[in-house]
Amino acid sequence: MTVNKIRIICSLLLCIVSMLSFAKEREVIDFNRGWQFCLTANTQEPVPAPGETWRPIDLPYDFQLNLPWEKGANRARAFKKQAAAWFRKTFTAEQSWKGRRVMLDFEGLMYYGDVYLNGRHIGGTEYGYCGFDCDISGLLDYGRENVVTVYTNTGTDGGSRWYTGGGINRDVRLILTDTVALARHGIYVTAAPKQGDSGVWQVAVQAEYAGSTLSKGRLETEARILDAAGNVVAGSGRFACPAASRLELVEVKLPLIDVANPNMWSCETPYLYNVEVTTYCDGIARDRQTERFGFRTIEYGADFGFRLNGRKVFLQGIANHVDFGGVGVAAYRTAIARQLRQLKAFGFNAVRCSHNPYPECFYDLCDEMGILVVDEFVDKWSTDGNCWGGRTDFLSCWVPLMQEWIKRDRNHPCVIMWSLGNEMQHRENASGYMTGDWGVTMFRMMDVLLKRYDATRPSTAAMYPARANGIRRADKGFREKENILPPELSRITEIASYNYEYADYPRYKECDPDLIIFQSEASVNDLVTPFLRMDRKSTVGLCYWGAIEYWGESDGWPKKGWNYSFFDHTLKPYPRAYLLRSCFKEDEPQVHIGVLDGEQKSIIWNDILSGRAEMSHFYWKPAAGDSITLEVSTNCDEVELLQNGRSLGVKRNNRSNDKVANKLLWRAISWQPGRVTAVARNNGREVARHELRSPGKAVRLKMTVEDNPMPGGRPADLIYVRLQAVDSKGLPVDNYEGEVKVEVGENAALLALDNGDHFTDRRLDMPSTTLYRGGALVILRPKSAGGTVTLKASCTGMKPVVKKVNI
């Protein structure tokens, strides 16, 4: 019998014994339901603003999205005024909680805020993208009602460059443990191949305790590794903790655990294990906590870019602000999973978290779905309050915020890179301490702290599209070769992350051959050219900026946000999303027709050309013979276009020209009612086809419940229902713009009726709107799991449609 098997048997026997004498198990209580909310002008007391009242609400909730759109408000903040709000919740502290540690855990709130219990201040944050907790064990009135009140504030207009939302927009929990328990984010687990032993991996587990916990008795810690089915595959045995420490937090490193031939985590097969850590005090089990992790290797090099498990992977990513369309920044698991599923369907394999930590469940879902993550801390390292929304300055609070961020996310196998900031190196007041070196010293200071808590991933910071010495596009000599030098900061980061400027990467490599290049932002305006022009064999990858529409960063009223995108904010793909898909999924033969409705609209944004052509899937004109232009995306050799069976010609795919590769144009076609068909061929053989059909008059409303299965079989926390005007044959009629109204049964709440129009003036939480491009999206929140809810939709000139929706 091997030593490892003996360890496992002993571990199981000890577990059985300990279960007989286990203190109360750790409890995590969902604290999201049953709150009240009011807008306020009072920062000290929970008093509604004039004309406001307390309203019942469940969390998460983004109150700012449901404020009126105002033309005079800041366009960067989605034409929503900055505001403050109070939240409160009354609950009974059970007598059985006495003698236990009771933690009130906030995953986040926007933008800053304070927490009170029974009128006493107990905690708060200056940067609501990072979480915090409050120990309320000694402050509760046990057996009686207690009141938690929370003040939230969206900050000033200049505190952010984009729409942040407002309120308690992430989960709140009560966590009950024994008084002998792990600290916050108290498990750190890494795995690496064992040297000289093929197929065997070593798992390093670290447990963290408050220093005061060590004096409560003889502490021991044990770790067990469980596979996805819950089977124990290895264990550490019990390991004695130090008897005492003067440190506030103590890290206990357990003996390395051998695991033979583990299942690997990858984008295709994201297999996850659990590490279960049990804490014993004087032989009695007092706390048990589980963390997920995966077995995988990551490598970076100047000649190959990035490898996952020894295989070259090119990041095909998105860089977006936290934004979930109709629910704003409220962190619903279904909303996030739905985004990730759509991205993966179009060939995306990575997300850059721009420019802040995302909700915790985002990382869980990326772990489960096999999506790679570039995890970002903050936007600028602001010294003057610009682009920083907290009440205290960034330089005085970044250390604990970074500790919280790294400890929270470091066990996720999906996280493959840390990014410490964005576009700060071109001006001193955005690059930290005034050291005169374009952020180099600040980065090095931050990187030392980062590596203290995780040294298994490389670090980076995304560069503004400027040269060394802060030379920007508007400066004289920007295009002169002697000035095309990589920014100073990018030459000392482990990964050189550049926003845009892909044409200069070869010159940057001439200057510094050791650069490991990542295009941290690419412009949708350039379509697939950034992807095709990069040396994908030697670079890490790219992330398209704003590939999904988001609120804020509008270039002018009445547009409410960024829409130079591949998907609208309800996740409908624009036709050119299929052009990108034809490159991202190059092994899958594909063809797709889009209707070019207008010329390319472009703007200069942050020194970069951004824009999008107006395109649709609506094959219709007012009269036969009207001119129409069709754009066909394909990764095949050639495409023949047929109109009602008549050939309009065959065009070859010019793959050698990255400006027109995979894109074919048929201009000034005489439109005829019926159908248009694109037939794609490789080597003369048909391999794909796509068809558009012209609709008739809109006669009814079609209601379709989206299928959004959740990883792990969890119940969905949101239900999405599409409404679409169709003709007598069921074809979408995208130019129908009737008024639609919905009525929702008592088992669910209407969160949003979102028609997908980024120019809307309608509030999304209202039960009526106009159809846009013939459709609208209903977002429901079930009041409990199971059962059905009745949804009724009525539209001008049409018979109402009613459906029982499973929840």
The residue that leads in pLDDT, 522 or 785, is 522
Calculate mean pLDDT across residues 659-681: 96
User: pLDDT tens-digit profile of 626-636?
Assistant: 999 999 999 99
Rounded Cα distance between 11 and 405, Å, is: 33
Rounded Cα distance between 625 and 620, Å, is: 11
- Strand intervals (E) in 31-83: 35-40, 55-57
- Ordered strands of the 675-682 beta sheet: 646-652, 638-643, 675-682, 685-693
Sign for the pseudo-dihedral over CA of 376, 380, 386, 388: positive
604 has a pLDDT exceeding 90:
no
The predicted structure's pLDDT at residue 112: 98
- Indicate the pLDDT class of residue 426, thresholds 50, 70 and 90: confident
9 has a pLDDT exceeding 70:
no
Counting residues of the chain whose pLDDT is more than 70, the rounded percentage is: 97
Rounded Cα distance between 801 and 793, Å, is: 5
Rounded Cα distance between 711 and 367, Å, is: 10
- Indicate the pLDDT class of residue 20, thresholds 50, 70 and 90: very low
The predicted structure's pLDDT at residue 252: 97
Sign for the pseudo-dihedral over CA of 643, 646, 651, 652: positive
Helices vs. strands in the chain: H and E counts, helices first: 8, 48
Q: State the DSSP string of 384-442.
A: SSTT--SSS-GGGTHHHHHHHHHHHHTT-TTEEEEEEEES-TTSGGGBSS--SSTTHHH
Is residue 500 a contact partner of residue 509, using CB atoms and an 8 Å limit?
A: no
- Indicate the pLDDT class of residue 21, thresholds 50, 70 and 90: low
470 has a pLDDT exceeding 60:
yes
The predicted structure's pLDDT at residue 2: 58
Calculate mean pLDDT across residues 559-573: 97
Q: Determine the 3-state secondary structure of 507 from DSSP.
A: helix
Is residue 208 a contact partner of residue 247, using CB atoms and an 8 Å limit?
A: no
The β-bridge relationship of strands 459-463 and 496-499 is: parallel
Q: State the DSSP string of 207-261.
A: EEEEGGGGGGS-EEEEEEEE-TTS-EEEE---EEPPS--SSSEEEEEPPPEEEES
User: pLDDT tens-digit profile of 101-129?
Assistant: 999 999 999 999 999 999 999 999 999 99
Q: Tokens representing 512?
A: 């510094």
Rounded Cα distance between 604 and 525, Å, is: 11
Rounded Cα distance between 712 and 623, Å, is: 51
Which phi and psi angles does 602 have, rounded to 5°?
Answer: -135, 150
Give which of 183, 200, 202 is closest to 191, Cα–Cα. 202
The predicted structure's pLDDT at residue 19: 47
The residue that leads in pLDDT, 153 or 605, is 153
Residues written for the chain: 807
Rounded Cα distance between 747 and 790, Å, is: 8
The predicted structure's pLDDT at residue 18: 45
Say how many CA atoms lie within 13 Å of 461 toward its Cβ. Answer: 33
Confidence (pTM): 0.95
Rounded Cα distance between 560 and 71, Å, is: 10
Angle at 505 between CA 504 and CA 508, to 5 degrees: 90
| C-alpha distance from residue 342 to each of 235, 354, 360, 570 (Å) | 39, 19, 20, 11
Query: Minimum mean pLDDT among 223-227, 598-602, 618-622: which range?
Result: 598-602
615 has a pLDDT exceeding 80:
yes
Query: What are the CB-based long-range contacts (under 8 Å, 24+) for 435-438?
Result: 437/488, 438/468, 438/469, 438/470, 438/487, 438/488, 438/489
Angle at 672 between CA 668 and CA 673, to 5 degrees: 140
The amino acid occupying position 9 is I
C-alpha dihedral (529, 533, 538, 544), degrees to nearest 10: -20
Calculate mean pLDDT across residues 563-588: 97
Rounded Cα distance between 794 and 181, Å, is: 55
Say how many CA atoms lie within 13 Å of 118 toward its Cβ. Answer: 12
Is residue 756 a contact partner of residue 763, using CB atoms and an 8 Å limit?
A: no
Is residue 560 a contact partner of residue 79, using CB atoms and an 8 Å limit?
A: yes
The β-bridge relationship of strands 788-795 and 801-806 is: antiparallel
The amino acid occupying position 218 is R
Q: State the DSSP string of 714-732.
A: PPPS-EEEEEEEE-TTS-B
| C-alpha distance from residue 563 to each of 404, 425, 475, 784 (Å) | 33, 27, 29, 35
Calculate mean pLDDT across residues 668-682: 97
Query: Minimum mean pLDDT among 555-569, 575-589, 608-622, 631-645: which range?
Result: 608-622
Q: Tokens representing 752?
A: 């949003």
Burial status of residue 672 (CB atoms within 10 A of its CB: 0-12, 13-18, 19 or more) = middle
Rounded Cα distance between 104 and 476, Å, is: 55
Q: Determine the 3-state secondary structure of 75 from DSSP.
A: helix
Q: What H or E segment, with its residue span, contains residue 780? A: strand 775-782
Counting residues of the chain whose pLDDT is more than 90, the rounded percentage is: 90
CA max distance for the chain:
88
Calculate mean pLDDT across residues 412-417: 98
The amino acid occupying position 376 is E
Rounded Cα distance between 665 and 647, Å, is: 15
Calculate mean pLDDT across residues 687-708: 97
Burial 621-650 (b: 16+ CB within 10 A, else e): beeeeeebebbbbbbbbbbbbbbeeeebee
17 has a pLDDT exceeding 50:
no
Q: What is the mean pLDDT of the chain?
A: 95
Rounded Cα distance between 664 and 311, Å, is: 33
- Indicate the pLDDT class of residue 24, thresholds 50, 70 and 90: confident
Sign for the pseudo-dihedral over CA of 727, 729, 734, 740: positive
The β-bridge relationship of strands 172-177 and 187-193 is: unpaired
The residue that leads in pLDDT, 715 or 780, is 780
The β-bridge relationship of strands 200-210 and 187-193 is: antiparallel
687 has a pLDDT exceeding 60:
yes
The predicted structure's pLDDT at residue 503: 94
